[in-house]
Amino acid sequence: MNKHITVLPGDGIGPEVTAEAQKLLEEVAVQFGHTFEFTAAHIGGAAIDAEGTPLPEQTVARCKASDAVLLGAVGAPKYDRGPASGRPEAGLLGLRKALDVFANLRPITVFPPLAAASPLKDEVLTNVDFVIVRELTGGLYFGTPRERIQTDHGLEVVDTLRYSEQEIERILRLGYQIAQQRGKRLTSVDKANVLESSRVWRETAERLHAEYPDVELNHLLVDNAAMQIVKDPGQFDVIVTENLFGDILSDEGAMITGSIGMLPSASLGAGGPGLYEPVHGSAPDIAGKGIANPLASFLSAAMMLRHSFGMFAEADAVEQAVQQVLADGLRTADIAGPGDTPLSTAEMGEAVRTRL
């Protein structure tokens, strides 16, 4: 297959990890007989420096014209004092909007060789490998009205949780589809005992189930879901939920892995290119030193292969190569133990490529 990938290295360690991820994708192309074309563009602080804005029009145009986007990270301390619209982070928010991505996927994986870093006991960490599918464009984060009202008895504040049925349906469909590609179990998380939006959510999940009969559906209230994620995280395959619940649960999920710096993410829209990036930020404290861990970027590239290109064997190969370097005891500084000699970013990249 022939695919066009836009690479947005961004700031801090972003350029260091995406350079290695691109090399890994080039190796995938060679081994599996594909052609990947890469185009780089600016975003974030790097775009401000080069073009005076965190999201140049050319960057958006290139991303839209490609099959998928691989992003490094945005953000640098030197921009923290300017207006919000001129900060590097505005570039990423603008890009998500421009690409109309409505779903955020965060795999929660415990890598057995790194499990000691998890705050959970070993007994509950077997087979922890699930995905949280979070709705990104609706709910409390965007609903209006949103206001402060001065009343006779003092200040009142209003936020609005608003969803259209169409928004609920498309995220639930994606949840079902991802479950079909994985363990065929979908957990829909809501608060249907209290919220009207959650009742429609639950009804919609039930209605769509007829179209995905091979997927086992169950419902969890969000408070119970928060408990189950620490009590028995191995029970989950795919969790699908609305914006706020997903925001909270995906950080909870990330924390139990003990390897937050290793986690990838994907943001998907309807038909357009997906956006793939590590969960970690630009890590200004270690930028430029060549010691950043590129594995989260590699796993983001694996998600691109799977979700944007339908290259399942290729995605599995990348993930297995990452598992293999860990099993072989290779570590970058952030995940190294007392006896380990840490690898540089480039050495880790090389180690994964040779195991592919």
Per CB under 5 A, residues contacting Mg ion are 75, 281
Q: How far apart are CA 302 and CA 323, in angstroms?
A: 13
247 an active-site residue? yes
191 an active-site residue? yes
Q: Which is nearer to ligand ATP, 174 or 348 (CB)?
A: 348
251 an active-site residue? yes
152 an active-site residue? no
Answer yes or no whether residue 87 interacts with ligand ATP by CB under 6 A: no
Q: How far apart are CA 282 and CA 280, in angstroms?
A: 7
Answer yes or no whether residue 91 interacts with ligand ATP by CB under 6 A: no
Identify the three-state secondary structure at position 156. Answer: strand
Identify the three-state secondary structure at position 270. Answer: coil
- Name the active-site residue from 3, 163, 191, 212: 191
Answer yes or no whether residue 280 interacts with ligand ATP by CB under 6 A: yes
Q: How far apart are CA 29 and CA 23, in angstroms?
A: 10
Q: How far apart are CA 193 and CA 146, in angstroms?
A: 24
Least Cβ distance, residue 276 to ligand ATP (angstroms):
15
Binding characters for ligand ATP, 298-337, by CB under 6 A (x = yes): ------------------------------------x---
* 98 annotated ligand binder: no
Q: How far apart are CA 80 and CA 21, in angstroms?
A: 28
Q: How far apart are CA 37 and CA 201, in angstroms?
A: 40
* 233 annotated ligand binder: no
Q: Which of residues 13-42 bind ligand ATP (CB under 6 A)?
A: 13
Nearest to 234 by CA among 115, 325, 351, 109: 109
Cβ contact 172:205 at 8 Å = yes
Q: Which of residues 141-170 bind ligand ATP (CB under 6 A)?
A: none
Backbone phi, psi, residue 266, to 5°: -135, 145
6 binds, among Mg ion, ligand ATP, none (CB under 5 to 8 A by kind): none
Angle between helix 345-355 and helix 14-32 axes, rounded to 10 deg: 20
334 binds, among ligand ATP, Mg ion, none (CB under 5 to 8 A by kind): ligand ATP
Cβ contact 254:265 at 8 Å = no
How big is the chain, counted in residues?
A: 356
Nearest to 238 by CA among 304, 295, 172: 172
Least Cβ distance, residue 74 to ligand ATP (angstroms):
7
Binding characters for ligand ATP, 57-76, by CB under 6 A (x = yes): ------------------x-
Region near ligand ATP per CB under 6 A, out of 60-68, 175-183, 247-255, 279-287: 279-287
* 284 annotated ligand binder: yes
Cβ contact 281:12 at 8 Å = yes
232 an active-site residue? no
Region near ligand ATP per CB under 6 A, out of 48-56, 185-193, 277-285, 313-321: 277-285
Angle subtended at Cα 269 by Cα 188 and Cα 305, rounded to the nearest 5 degrees: 95
Q: Count CB neighbours of 267 within 10 A.
A: 22
* 286 annotated ligand binder: yes
Binding residues, by number, are 96, 106, 134, 223, 247, 251, 281-293
Residues that bind ligand ATP (CB under 6 A): 13, 75, 261, 280-283, 285-286, 292-293, 296, 334
Binding residues for substrate, by number, are 96, 106, 134, 223
Which are the catalytic amino acids? 141, 191, 223, 247, 251
